[in-house]
């Protein structure tokens, strides 16, 4: 049995890979740059003694995901975790189509592509977990992160459908709506709420594997914030700049 | 992999963050980047000026400067390879000594040369060519470095070792980050004889006596240092304890060790703005410390505690308050120790300066380029940062030059250029290596600007 982590080279993905390796899980790590993957895999093999397969692919090109089925231990994959995300400072609705496509593909389409490749074997085994990672940025659309938030909102919808699709099976579908994380994406930015440590989130996600928890917002203090943000009437919401 | 579209070497401005030296002497709002992917290390002709940064524990501003981007490398913290037969280990430069210790100890290995805080990074140890618990016998950190990978935005990545690119290798080990970014290093770990040290305490009446005992003991001990009580200026000045240790006989290897977490940093070092160290409190602390050392002549100390006396040093440094302290660590030739001690006592007494800490270690090496090494005894003196202390430090500077000593440039955030040049006679060769390797000088820091490097 092994766990596939898409977006494993940094941030939450790296923390998840380490957390899983600490628990003796074999891993399939997928990320854009083979150099990052090689270093991470070497560390996990040397420090934790787990088996690690790697595949470098560009999630902005979703059909590249088909290469995953060629991995020697692809049949053994039982959990799919998607700590993948890409954002850009100038995502204000005016990006050229190629960059919009790259953002949507990376945040949404590639995840759907990988799930479609491995869901049959999870259903056949009647076990396994599919974990999607969303963002509080998708709670309500706003003038920043327009494409990113749209893709993450789409992802949330996709995971809801997926959970419904697998409800009668042993496959568990989970979705985490995450607040700010202390990763390179948020480094140096002054944000209105504290950043959570990727290690702490990775610990929770790993412990929850196999459980039927649905959609969870983390850290917990974001739950009341998300209720308020969602409940704000438009005449008030349109005046906010955040 | 939550990431930005571009993870490459910065060519535009970054947000500034207030960075400070451990001694509180230099504070600069510097741009800070924290890359976590190898895509960052790509060639760029128009690279902005930068300097690598590890844990930022240096007492001098070696990892930041005005109009310089500090590159925090702590996300590169992985073990890349380990040979359990030879003990050779390849690690990324941002790995902390603590993480390396936790990896090596259960596998029966350790690094003999290490500074005293487990959050310091391997890259920082190489760049500062730090020393450990017995520099006279074990040398400095460079003795453990088999090879390293260096990145420079104009040259790309290079493999350096004493055999391959020796000039650049030697300029990088102890080169305070000015040759480029150390990405990874292959280190030689040693077999771990046991998991604890048998530590002995020898009381000495004077610093000269302590220095001579240090020299005598250094050849066959795994740990040798001396602590002196310099808070009293009378005949008891310099009364102290020489601490020696060797590995206790026992089984090789150890169960997994978890070092205590620490959030200590120069920015969070002290809560109170003023120093709590004055002649009265230092006397009380020294008396208590001396009693604790002398309670038993011989004790068994766990290796982790002997290598990283973290809690005690964090507490002690916090007592200096936010204003901070001055440290002068200098190697004094053996035959000048008595003169040095006498002059220090006289000037501290005359200037009414409170010497809060005085420790010594034996050295028996040769300084090359700008590395802190030499033959003699290194004395580290810490005093609260006051106007009188600044004058005292200037006097100690002149004394060190006069006695043929050498100050540690990463332990003193105000070391003047003329004192540096008078004590590091090989510094021009270092400058010429830098000029040849990097004529545009991409890598700079407050330290390099101050010392004219």
pLDDT tens-digit series, residues B252-289: 556 778 888 888 999 899 989 999 999 999 999 999 98
Residue with tokens 């990672």: A133
Q: Answer for the pair B201, B294: CB distance below 8 angstroms, yes or no.
A: yes
A89 CB neighbours in chain B (<8 A) are: 4
Q: What is the pLDDT of residue A61?
A: 96
pLDDT for the residue numbered B292: 85
Judge: A8–B1 Cβ closer than 8 Å, yes or no. Answer: yes
User: How many beta-carbon pairs under 8 angstroms link A with B?
Assistant: 93
Given a cut of 50, the residues of chain A with pLDDT beneath it are none
Instruction: Give residue-wise pLDDT tens across range B295-309.
Output: 777 788 999 999 998
Q: What is the residue whose two structure tokens read 């005293």?
A: B116
Residue B407, beta-bridge partner list: B330
Euclidean distance between CA atoms B375 and B364, whole angstroms: 4
Say which residue the tokens 């990892």 belong to: B63
A74-78 long-range contacts, CB within 8 A, separation 24+? A74/A28, A74/A118, A75/A121, A76/A1, A76/A2, A76/A26, A77/A2, A77/A3, A77/A4, A77/A28, A77/A118, A77/A121, A77/A128, A78/A1, A78/A2, A78/A3, A78/A122, A78/A125, A78/A127, A78/A128, A78/A129
pLDDT digits (tens, 9 = 90+) for B9-35: 555 556 788 999 999 999 999 999 999
Distance CA B116, CA B130 (A): 10
CB-based contact, A28 to chain B, within 8 Å: no
CA distance B323 to chain A (A): 26
Residue B251: what pLDDT?
58
Quickly list DSSP for A144-160. SSHHHHHHHHHHHHHHH
- One pLDDT digit (tens) per residue for chain B, 453 residues: 454 545 555 555 567 889 999 999 999 999 999 999 999 998 888 788 999 999 999 999 999 999 999 999 999 999 999 999 999 999 999 999 999 999 999 999 999 999 999 999 999 999 999 999 999 999 999 999 999 999 999 999 999 999 999 999 999 999 999 999 999 999 999 999 998 999 999 999 999 999 999 999 998 899 999 999 998 878 889 999 999 999 988 655 567 788 888 889 998 999 899 999 999 999 999 999 888 887 777 788 999 999 998 888 999 999 999 999 999 999 999 999 999 999 999 999 999 999 999 999 999 999 999 999 999 999 999 999 999 999 999 999 999 999 999 999 999 999 999 999 999 999 999 999 999 999 999 999 999 999 999
Q: Supply the pLDDT for residue A35.
A: 96
The tokens describing A185, both together, are: 């994406």
**A12 with B2: Cβ contact below 8 A:** yes
Question: Pick from B104, B33, B111: which is nearest to B75 by CA?
Answer: B33
Q: Does A45 touch chain B (CB under 8 A)?
A: no
Q: Facing residues of A184 across strands?
A: none
- The total of other beta-carbon atoms located within 10 Å of residue B292's CB is 12
Closest chain B residue to A83, measured at CA = B1
Distance (Å, whole) CA B232 – CA B205 = 13
Left, alpha or beta for B242 (phi > 0: left; psi -120 to 50: alpha)?
beta
User: Are B78 and A9 a contacting pair at CB < 8 A?
Assistant: no
Give the pair of three-digit tokens for residue A48: 């934790």
The confidence score (pLDDT) of residue B252 equals: 57
């Amino acid at each position: 049995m092994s766990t596939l982590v898409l977006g494993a080279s940094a941030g939450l993905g790296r923390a998840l890979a380490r957390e899983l390796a600490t628990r003796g899980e074999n891993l399939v790590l997928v990320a854009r740059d083979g150099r990052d993957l090689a270093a991470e895999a070497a560390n996990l093999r040397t420090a934790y003694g787990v088996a690690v397969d790697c595949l470098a692919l560009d999630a902005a090109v979703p059909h590249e995901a088909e290469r995953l089925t060629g991995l020697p231990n692809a049949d053994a994959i039982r959990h799919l975790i998607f700590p993948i995300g890409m954002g850009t400072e100038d995502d204000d609705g005016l990006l050229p189509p190629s960059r919009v496509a790259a953002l949507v593909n990376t945040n949404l389409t590639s995840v759907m592509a990988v799930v479609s490749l491995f869901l049959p074997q999870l259903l056949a085994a009647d076990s396994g977990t599919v974990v999607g990672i969303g963002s509080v940025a998708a709670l309500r659309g706003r003038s920043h992160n327009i494409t990113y938030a749209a893709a993450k909102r789409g992802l949330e919808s996709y995971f809801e459908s997926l959970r419904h699709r697998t409800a009668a099976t042993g496959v568990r579908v989970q979705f985490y709506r995450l607040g700010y994380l202390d990763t390179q994406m948020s480094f140096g930015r002054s944000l209105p709420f504290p950043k959570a440590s990727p290690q702490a989130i990775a610990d929770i996600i790993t412990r929850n594997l196999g459980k039927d928890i649905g959609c969870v917002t983390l850290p917990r203090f974001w739950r009341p914030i998300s209720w308020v943000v969602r409940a704000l009437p438009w005449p008030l919401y349109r005046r906010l700049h955040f | 992999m939550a990431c930005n579209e571009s993870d490459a070497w910065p060519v535009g401005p970054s947000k500034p963050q207030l960075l400070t030296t451990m001694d509180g002497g230099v504070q600069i709002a510097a741009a800070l980047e924290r890359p976590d992917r190898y895509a960052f290390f790509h060639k760029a002709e128009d690279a902005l000026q930068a300097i690598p940064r590890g844990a930022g524990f240096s007492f001098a501003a070696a990892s930041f400067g005005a109009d310089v981007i500090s590159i925090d490398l702590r996300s590169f913290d992985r073990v890349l390879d380990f040979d359990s037969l030879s003990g050779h280990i390849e690690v990324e430069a941002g790995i902390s000594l603590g993480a390396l210790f936790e990896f090596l100890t259960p596998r029966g290995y350790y690094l003999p040369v290490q500074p005293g805080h487990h959050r310091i990074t391997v890259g920082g140890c190489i760049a500062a060519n730090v020393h450990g618990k017995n520099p006279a016998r074990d040398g400095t950190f460079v003795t453990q470095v088999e090879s390293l990978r260096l990145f420079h935005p104009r040259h790309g990545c290079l493999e350096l070792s004493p055999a391959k690119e020796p000039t650049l290798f030697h300029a990088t080990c102890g080169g305070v980050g000015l040759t480029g970014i150390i990405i990874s290093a292959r280190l030689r770990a040693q077999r771990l004889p046991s998991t604890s040290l048998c530590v002995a305490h020898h009381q000495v009446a004077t610093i000269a006596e302590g220095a001579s005992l240090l020299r005598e003991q250094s050849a066959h001990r795994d740990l040798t240092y001396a602590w002196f009580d310099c808070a009293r200026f009378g005949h008891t000045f310099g009364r102290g304890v020489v601490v020696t240790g060797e590995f206790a006989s026992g089984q090789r290897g150890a169960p997994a060790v978890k070092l205590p977490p620490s959030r200590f940093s120069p920015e969070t070092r002290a809560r109170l703005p003023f120093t709590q160290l004055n002649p009265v409190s230092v006397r009380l602390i020294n008396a208590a410390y001396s009693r604790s050392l002398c309670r038993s002549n011989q004790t068994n100390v766990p290796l982790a505690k002997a290598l990283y006396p973290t809690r005690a040093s964090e507490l002690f440094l916090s007592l200096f308050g936010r204003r901070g302290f001055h440290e002068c660590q200098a190697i004094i030739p053996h035959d000048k120790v008595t003169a040095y001690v006498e002059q220090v006592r006289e000037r501290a007494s005359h200037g009414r300066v409170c010497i809060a800490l005085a420790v010594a270690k034996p050295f028996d090496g040769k300084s090359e380029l700008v590395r802190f090494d030499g033959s003699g005894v290194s004395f580290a003196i810490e005093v609260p940062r006051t106007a009188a202390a600044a004058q005292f430090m200037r006097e100690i500077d002149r004394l060190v030059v006069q006695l043929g000593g050498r100050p540690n440039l990463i332990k003193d955030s105000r070391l003047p250029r003329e004192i540096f040049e008078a004590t590091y006679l090989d510094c021009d060769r270092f400058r010429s290596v830098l000029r040849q390797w990097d004529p545009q000088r991409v890598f700079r820091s407050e330290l390099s600007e101050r010392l004219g490097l």
